[in-house]
Structure 1
């Protein structure tokens, strides 16, 4: 696939308007979270069935959850088991023809990625995903997303590559976000690989872009092979632009003699969505893996205020 094969989707994102929320979907899924930008869409969207998914990473106790619309999901499970059991409990059926919408705002990044993998393999033709931006992050450049230490850095299930022994041409593409602890662990895990920084620009706001740069500076020495010259940019809120930019970077790396490619999406959730779309379209069966620094617990609320909401039509 070339960059032109993504280009027809670049203008596909749509604002989540009141009329679109009233039009609704058959099935609407969201990860339960106290954050206003998760609560408001759940309240406003019309759907035949709406389901809250309690995530183990947020550590909500039963008395903290809503009294209705909460499904039972495996609390000690990897992303494959969690998504598979959650969809079954939500009444999802690939053969039913039901329209499905997933609010990715509160889900973990590996969940978002595995949703794509699972639904594609289930034979779904299209699904809508929505995301609501914060006005700003709660502690500016000091905002942290993971609470516990990173347990391990591993491939996201469904995104494991068929790697080759040679490492001289290894490359690591990191989606630059706020959590310098997560970025440090990923870069150290692949410290011999050439580092490519993928920044969100324009960011959700100008101050957010500046804050993410401040966080990246703290891990500047983590990689011996850090390449200051290879910085690329994509949209913070358009996964199709991100997928297209990754496609362009991949073509350039292959032309320079690529051995193994590692990708780690640590910026916004739409950014992560773009990584997943690109991988499933171009990298399956290659010496490429999508890796992530897994932690046991994450902050329940990292953003403040209610920003713009977007709908992303995903076509498999």
Structure 2
């Protein structure tokens, strides 16, 4: 059975920038899948990132969207890397119900060296460090944060480790990014980005079936039998068969991909949820931040009688007269 939303894309599916929740009852699996197009273009184009950085940001955005749309409360999910690689910071956040923004910081010299050596995958760009998952439910609640080491694994693998450690839910994540070169309606060359992803989780009714076995402790450890629930093993293998091209190809479509993977087990898709490139910054918020500075700090930021602040996420510049900002 398929429950369709009222707003479908060019090929009759959910289309770009819409997350499709799904359930495979025969495998006790639930998840979400998405293809990103115009929204991702808007985020990447305003920063003019080098191609390897743009790919890394795109992967992070897909992961953030997949996880953020699962929030059942008003709040925010923030996914952030902090590392010693050429790209030392990538941050993306999702504000319920549908707002996404992202930003990356990189060392131009170190990045140029990495590109020259051909070291442009996510592991090489990030280096060693941590990936933090932060859930913020508002000013009157305590933030929850889970931290996973960046140890040379891909973002897909790191996300799986996070769910195993913090949520104890068997999870498989797939991410894909594609760079498209084509022509617009006037025949002019144009550059576009696409990205897609899927997260599938094993959620049986019996909690003891959901628990994964502990890792092998070494020689002489008789407690580990290597067993994996057969249904989850089947689902995991199915998800692993997805090609990156299938995740990003608009002619495949999210629903068609889900049908290809799971139709023999009975896949159900639910109405898609749109997501938008929308920053949370505002003139009022930035003025409040400046007001928290000391008088000396405020004076040091004044140039020609004004204070200019540019949002790192959306690149919007806000200008304040020095007289507008006074310390609290």
TM-score band w.r.t. shorter chain: under 0.3
Normalising by structure 2, we get a TM-score of 0.25
- TM-score w.r.t. the length of structure 1 is 0.25
Which structure features the higher share of strand residues? 2
Q: Which has the higher contact order (CA 8 A, sep 6+)?
A: 1
